[in-house]
Amino acid sequence: MPQLNPAPWFFIMIITWLTFSLIIQPKILTFVTMNPPSNKPRIAPTTTPWTWPWT
C-alpha cells in the first residue's frame, strides 16, 4: 500500500509548508492592514425595552 510510505509525501508536505511560511505568508501579510487602536471613549448603545403585546 503506497499511502503508508511517508517518503515522498512527507517531503512534499515539508516543502509546501516551508514555501507557505517563508515565501507566501509574508507577502500576504503586507496586504493586511491592522486596525490602529482608538482613543475614543466607548459609548454604550442606548436600547429601548421591547413591549410584548401579550404581557
- The DSSP output letter for 41 is P
DSSP string, the chain: -GGG-HHHHHHHHHHHHHHIIIIIHHHHHTTPPPPPP--SPP-PPP------TT-
Confidence of residue 6 (pLDDT cuts 50, 70, 90): confident
Please state whether the predicted TM-score (pTM) of the whole model is above 0.85.
no
In a domain, 1, yes or no: no
In a domain, 49, yes or no: no
pLDDT in tens, 19-51: 988 998 888 888 866 777 778 888 888 888 888
Q: Which domain holds residue 20?
A: 7-31
- Among 27, 19, 24, which residue's Cα sits nearest to residue 11? 19
Cell of residue 32, nine digits:
493586511
Does 55 or 1 have the greater pLDDT score? 55
Q: Which pLDDT does position 3 carry in this prediction?
A: 66
In a domain, 39, yes or no: no
Our count of domains for the chain comes to 1
In a domain, 45, yes or no: no
Q: Which pLDDT does position 4 carry in this prediction?
A: 72
